[in-house]
Amino acid sequence: MKKAIFLLYILLLAPLAMRGQSPLSYHVEAGIGTSCFYGHLSKSDTRIAYKASVGATYLLRPSFGLQSGVEVVSIGGKRQILDVNSGNMNSVYLQVPLLAEARLHFSKDYHASLAAGPYMAFGIGGKTKGTIATSSSSSSSDNYNFSIPTFGNLIDGKAGSKYFDWGLRIRLTLEYKRFIAGAEVQMGLRTVNTQLQYAINGLEGFNPKNLGTFFTLGYRIF
């Protein structure tokens, strides 16, 4: 009878022990940073960028794991061009990264990690804004202000940006218990707009790629 009770006790506690040792954990993060366009004849001024994410980490070993998740990222760039003043392109993406992570444990409560890998992005929103001078007059009343969707074809009244993007990311994080502080850089490897160079005077050769940097704060849920 005692052996049966002991066996039942072990069976009841085993799932709890396995859960406590689970290699899978989840976290939420939000951050702010800067973004711009890069590429030959495609450089832009920086603008404020934002991101929010829900992610997961799977530890293959105590010092090595994989990171992924779902992120909403707002990036873009500003550029002064001949026909358009104060051109500001904002792109909102839904992103999915897949990063390999190396972890360094300082103590039970402190550790750092360095992660790198690719990401995929799909455009879900954003506006491109600017001012077009309609005459040689210096009066601002003669200028035309516009705000159009970033993603979609120019012939449809949109800014001509492609919906899909992809690139590489490198990320450094410090963790204290469940709290996470991170810094990261992501570099798009796909030209996100090829239409504007044919539509606006002064944009010849404009083939921009996304570049963003972020500082993030997060919390590991479990």
DSSP line for 118-165: EEEEEEEE-EEEEEEE-SS---GGGEEEEEEESBS-GGGTS--B-SEE
Average of per-residue pLDDT across 146-157: 94
Residue 145 has a pLDDT of 85
Residue 67 has pLDDT above 50, yes or no: yes
Give the three-class secondary structure for 170: strand
Average of per-residue pLDDT across 156-182: 97
Residue 87 has a pLDDT of 86
Q: Which of 64-68, 144-148, 153-157, 198-202 has the lowest mean pLDDT?
A: 198-202
Residue 68: count other Cβ atoms within 10 Å of its Cβ: 15
Per residue in 110-120, pLDDT (tens digit) is 999 999 999 99
Alpha-carbon span 129 to 115, nearest angstrom: 35
Residue 1 has pLDDT above 60, yes or no: no
Alpha-carbon span 139 to 12, nearest angstrom: 79
Average pLDDT over all residues of the chain: 88
- With bands split at pLDDT 50, 70 and 90, how would you rate the model's confidence at 81? confident
Residue 72 has pLDDT above 90, yes or no: yes
Average of per-residue pLDDT across 64-90: 90
Average of per-residue pLDDT across 179-185: 98
Structural domains present in the chain: 23-220 (2.40.160.20)
Residues in the chain: 222
Residue 132 has a pLDDT of 76
Residue whose C-alpha is closest to residue 151's, from 106, 196, 107, 188: 196
φ, ψ for residue 139 (rounded to 5)?
-70, 130
Residue 130 has a pLDDT of 87
Alpha-carbon span 72 to 50, nearest angstrom: 8
The secondary element (H helix, E strand) that includes residue 38 is: strand 24-38
Average of per-residue pLDDT across 84-102: 93
- With bands split at pLDDT 50, 70 and 90, how would you rate the model's confidence at 174? very high
CA 66 to each of CA 27, 55, 80, 105, 176: distance values in angstroms, whole numbers, following the listed order? 13, 11, 41, 16, 19
Residue 27 has pLDDT above 50, yes or no: yes
Residue 129 has a pLDDT of 92
- With bands split at pLDDT 50, 70 and 90, how would you rate the model's confidence at 6? very low
Contacts of 113 (CB under 8 A, 6+ apart): 101, 102, 103, 104, 172, 173, 175
Per residue in 122-139, pLDDT (tens digit) is 999 999 998 876 665 555
Average of per-residue pLDDT across 171-177: 97
